[in-house]
Amino acid sequence: MAGMNKSEFPNPVVNWIDSRLPIFTMMQKEYGTFPTPRNFNYFWNFGALAMVTLMVMIVTGIFLAMNYQPNVDLAFDSVQRIRRDVNYGWLIQYIHMNGASMFFIVTYIHIFRGLYYGSYKTPRELLWMLGVVILLLMMATAFMGYVLPWGQMSYWGATVITNLFSALPVVGKHIVTLLWGGFSVDQPTLNRFFSLHYLLPFVLIGVVFLHIAALHIVGSNNPLGIDVKGPQDTLPFHPYYTIKDSVGLCVFFIVWAFFVFFAPDYLGDPANYIPANPLQTPPEIVPEWYFLPFYAILRSVPDKLLGVLMMFGAILVLFVLPWLDTSPVRSAKFRPIYKWLFWLFAVNCIVLGMCGAHKPEGIWVVLGRLSTAYYFIHFLLILPILGKLERPKPLPESISKAVLGGAH
């Protein structure tokens, strides 16, 4: 039925708008009074931190795009020009460049928080799956962004990664040609990567919106992993969590600022300060740190096609995680065995990352294969079986009882 929204804001202008387009009502409902479990720890900061990072990346990226030249002869120099000749260009460029790493740090912590507290379990499966889509989009965006400065690692990284698709039967070669826009990584590749690098973050915003919309339907999980039973278990999002997120944001910005101002190149590869040279392969082609675990999986499989499938499989397996984990208990706090296996899995991911950073020689080959195998064993074997065998600790009656000790 048509009609004006019943708005009761004191400000007449706000009220006028809101009764026609109730965005203020919506903000009030979703970010003001939104009932949020009262027992979040600081690990629940990281979703907000990722959101802020995405915004910073988009804003800095827009300004970089005003000065960047997507041309194989000019790209490398244009990044230097931004650093040297554009007012505060060095600041914007270093924020953006290190921001990619920061984005992955907060997102990985966000994901591991979800794994620890079982945030992917019913009714949050779709919320979790949208998160995996976000991760995939982030990876594609970061990869294409790394190509833009057109250094040696940009060029050869792009060559290696795009070549992966050639392993697919029948369509593989055509996909690679489409990605390249020709028969090698060249001007058309740089042009389309620039275009897509600008486009994908906005797609990302769309999926993030769905991620948050889904979150606001089913509500947040919490460190106890039990359902909210009533208003005594929740607090309004504002001011309780706006201020708690602000504390985390300040600390996060300190870390980011440290890299930007004092170690801007620490997370990067020196070879990317050598202009791209299609005629000279660098002694080592290593992706950025956030891709290393997946790179290790790729290299650990002796067959090219299988390696590619397993690398993508390592992320795709997350889509079905809600159904692989058969335990009805969400939080690892009440899962005495899973708690340890979670940490083992986390260490295994770090070992994979180390394997990705080293040449596959000697111990690293063996270690890479073992940790690759364990990565999949964790999801495909341990989680389905463990849920049936493990005897969880008794769950608290309610969040408020557990937090306030029954005073309420």
Partner 1 sequence: MRALRNMLVRPALAVAMAAGLFTAGAQAAEEHIRLPEQHWHSSGMFGSPDLASAQRGYQVYREVCAACHGMKQLAFRDLTGLGLTEAQAKALAAAVTVPLGVNDQGEPKEGPGLLSSRFPAPWPNETAARARYNGAVPPDLSVMVKAREDGQNYVYALMTGYGDPPAGVKMGDGMNYNKYFPGHQIAMPPPLSDGRIEYADGTKATVDQMARDVTEFLTWAANPEMVERKRIGIRVILFLMLMTIVTYVVKRRVWADVH
Among 35, 360, 384, 396, interactor with partner 1 by CB under 8 A:
360
Among 215, 298, 351, 355, interactor with partner 1 by CB under 8 A:
298
- Can you tell me the distance from the alpha carbon of 304 to that of 164, in angstroms, rounded to the nearest whole number? 8
Which of 18, 245, 269, 325 is labelled catalytic?
A: 245
The answer to whether residue 262 forms part of the interface with partner 1 (CB under 8 A) is yes
Longest Cα separation, the chain:
73
- Can you tell me the distance from the alpha carbon of 101 to that of 61, in angstroms, rounded to the nearest whole number? 15
The answer to whether residue 278 forms part of the interface with partner 1 (CB under 8 A) is yes
- Can you tell me the distance from the alpha carbon of 167 to that of 295, in angstroms, rounded to the nearest whole number? 15
Q: How far is the CB of 56 from partner 1 (least distance, A)?
A: 14
The answer to whether residue 163 forms part of the interface with partner 1 (CB under 8 A) is yes
From 75-83, 207-215, 316-324, 328-336, span contacting partner 1 (CB under 8 A): 75-83
The answer to whether residue 246 forms part of the interface with partner 1 (CB under 8 A) is yes
Q: How many CB atoms lie within 10 A of CB 333?
A: 20
Q: Is the peptide bond before 12 cis (omega within 30 degrees of 0)?
A: no
Which of 78, 220, 327, 398 is labelled catalytic?
A: 220
Phi/psi for 37 (5° steps) reads: -50, 140
Phi/psi for 351 (5° steps) reads: -60, -40
> What region, left, alpha or beta, does residue 335 occupy, with left being phi > 0 and alpha being psi -120 to 50 degrees?
beta
In the annotation, is 244 catalytic?
Answer: yes
Among 206, 230, 231, 239, interactor with partner 1 by CB under 8 A:
239
Q: How far is the CB of 244 from partner 1 (least distance, A)?
A: 6
Residues of span 182-211 touching partner 1 by CB under 8 A: 183-185
Measured CA angle at 259 (ends 195, 343), to 5 deg = 90
Asked whether 197 and 123 are in contact (CB, 8 A), the reply is no
Q: What Rg, from alpha-carbon coordinates, does the chain have?
A: 24
In the annotation, is 77 catalytic?
Answer: no
Tokens found for residue 246: 């602000």
Q: How far is the CB of 360 from partner 1 (least distance, A)?
A: 6
Among 196, 285, 309, 346, interactor with partner 1 by CB under 8 A:
285
| 80: exposed, middle or buried (Cβ count in 10 Å: 0-12, 13-18, 19+) | middle
The answer to whether residue 369 forms part of the interface with partner 1 (CB under 8 A) is no
Taking residues 88 to 107 in sequence order and writing x for each that binds partner 1 by CB under 8 A, - otherwise, the string is: --xx--x-------------
Asked whether 401 and 230 are in contact (CB, 8 A), the reply is no
In the annotation, is 19 catalytic?
Answer: no
The answer to whether residue 304 forms part of the interface with partner 1 (CB under 8 A) is yes
Q: How far is the CB of 243 from partner 1 (least distance, A)?
A: 5
From 105-113, 153-161, 321-329, 375-383, span contacting partner 1 (CB under 8 A): 153-161
Query: Letter for the amino acid at 401?
Result: K
Tokens found for residue 208: 């993030």
Which of 125, 216, 227, 238 is labelled catalytic?
A: 216
Kindly list the distances between the CA atom of residue 139 and the CA atoms of 41, 194, 269, 370, in Å, as whole numbers in the listed order. 28, 15, 18, 25
Spacing of C-alpha 250 from chain mean position: 20
The answer to whether residue 25 forms part of the interface with partner 1 (CB under 8 A) is no
What residues line the site for partner 1 (CB under 8 A)? Answer: 38, 77, 80-81, 83-84, 90-91, 94, 156, 159-160, 163-164, 166, 183-185, 235, 239-240, 243-244, 246-247, 250-251, 253-254, 257-258, 260-262, 264-265, 270-271, 273-275, 277-281, 283-285, 298-299, 302, 304, 307, 359-360
Residues carrying an active site annotation: 216, 220, 244-245, 288
